[in-house]
Amino acid sequence: MATSDIKKGPLYVDITNNRVGIGLTSAEATLDVLGNSDVTAALKIGPNANFGHHFYDSSTNGDLVIKREVSGVQTETMRLARSGGYVGIGGSPYQKLDVYGGNIAVSSADTYQTSVNIDNTDTGGRHWGLHSTGSNNTAGEFRIYDYDANVERMRIDGSGRVTMPYQPSFWAFLNGNWGSWTPNNQTQVVPFDQAYHNIGNHYNGSTGLFTCPVAGNYVFTGGTYVGGSSVEQLWLVKNGVRQPSFAFPNAGSTGDRAVGTYLMRCSANDTIGLCPYGSPSTTSTVFANFYHTFFIGALLG
């Protein structure tokens, strides 16, 4: 030992090279700490002997491991792998970043693994969770969860199929015959007053109008069964303005039933209604017929 070195028990100090070693007979860095097991950590930070965080270099593969100790029980929270610089949170990494999580209850009948939580600010911005339902190498499903609204927003199954539980859509029909139809009124929409389903509540049964919640491509299907006068065409009314016809009954001739489908690009807050047209000006009736009189729409994306 050089005269510039000091060694006392587990402490080694190299005065000449400004190095300190703990648990070593010599130091290779400014601070060199020996610790390579769960029991003998290189560094522990905590308020007492039973709580804190342990940092050590694994003797088995040279990974840098961080463990959290609670009431004397240690649980691995993060690992930096020696090979490739991979990072694992909650377990050993097999990719550049691997994140493992515990079960999170979405409802009484559904739990899944929390993988990554994303918050756009550190003061309470929108909180998003990325999850996987798979376990033990099963395919499972990938899900995006909105913590602020406490709902699931999207999922991708093991075959790549994408579903969105709250994708806006509606299916409306008449509860009773509507006797206020003026056939030659080009902007009068049918007030379908009952909703078979109305996801997002964007359809108004009092006005017969669907309000587009976001800009996107929408598909609409409409049908009417009328009496007293023949329906000649069907079209949509967008923001009070007639759109191109999309249905002509009986190959262009007049008839009492018509149905058609229309795909259109809409902006947020556009209103859409269904207008059956006929040449007479005398008030007539649109029959409440579940199979022939309806208005259906959905956001495609």
Which CATH number goes with the domain that contains 276?
Answer: 2.60.120.40
**Two tokens at 145?**
């969860």
Q: Is the pLDDT of residue 110 over 60?
A: no
pLDDT one-digit tens code per residue, 146-155: 777 777 888 8
Query: Residue range 34-41: average pLDDT?
Result: 59
The reported pLDDT for the residue numbered 245 is 92
The reported pLDDT for the residue numbered 252 is 46
Query: Same domain, yes or no, for 203 and 267?
Result: yes
Q: Is the pLDDT of residue 111 over 80?
A: no
Confidence of residue 224 (pLDDT cuts 50, 70, 90): very high
Contact 20, 34 (CB under 8 A): no
pTM: 0.63
Query: Same domain, yes or no, for 147 and 250?
Result: no
Query: Same domain, yes or no, for 192 and 148?
Result: no
DSSP state of 189: P
Query: Same domain, yes or no, for 151 and 191?
Result: no
* Residue 75 maps to a domain: no
Express as a percent the part of the chain with pLDDT over 70: 74
Confidence of residue 108 (pLDDT cuts 50, 70, 90): very low
Confidence of residue 109 (pLDDT cuts 50, 70, 90): very low
Q: Is the pLDDT of residue 16 over 60?
A: yes
Helix residue ranges, H only, 20-81: none
Quick one: 296 exposed, middle or buried, by C-beta within 10 A (0-12, 13-18, 19+)? Answer: buried
pLDDT one-digit tens code per residue, 174-211: 999 999 999 999 999 999 999 999 999 999 999 999 99
Quick one: 258 exposed, middle or buried, by C-beta within 10 A (0-12, 13-18, 19+)? Answer: buried
* Residue 241 maps to a domain: yes
Query: Same domain, yes or no, for 176 and 286?
Result: yes
pLDDT one-digit tens code per residue, 270-282: 999 999 999 888 9
Residue the block writes with tokens 């556009």: 270
Tell which residue, 55, 5, 3, 4, has the closest CA to residue 25: 5
DSSP state of 190: P
- Distance (Å, rounded) from C-alpha 187 to C-alpha 209? 12
Contact 228, 240 (CB under 8 A): no
Other beta carbons within 10 Å of 229: 21
- Distance (Å, rounded) from C-alpha 299 to C-alpha 220? 9
Query: Same domain, yes or no, for 143 and 188?
Result: no
Confidence of residue 8 (pLDDT cuts 50, 70, 90): low
The reported pLDDT for the residue numbered 1 is 45
Query: Same domain, yes or no, for 151 and 196?
Result: no
Q: Is the pLDDT of residue 57 over 50?
A: yes
Query: Same domain, yes or no, for 150 and 184?
Result: no
Overall domain count for the chain:
3
Higher pLDDT, 81 or 4: 81
Length of the chain: 301
- Distance (Å, rounded) from C-alpha 111 to C-alpha 133? 8
The reported pLDDT for the residue numbered 103 is 47
Q: Could you tell me the residue range of the domain that residue 219 belongs to?
A: 169-299
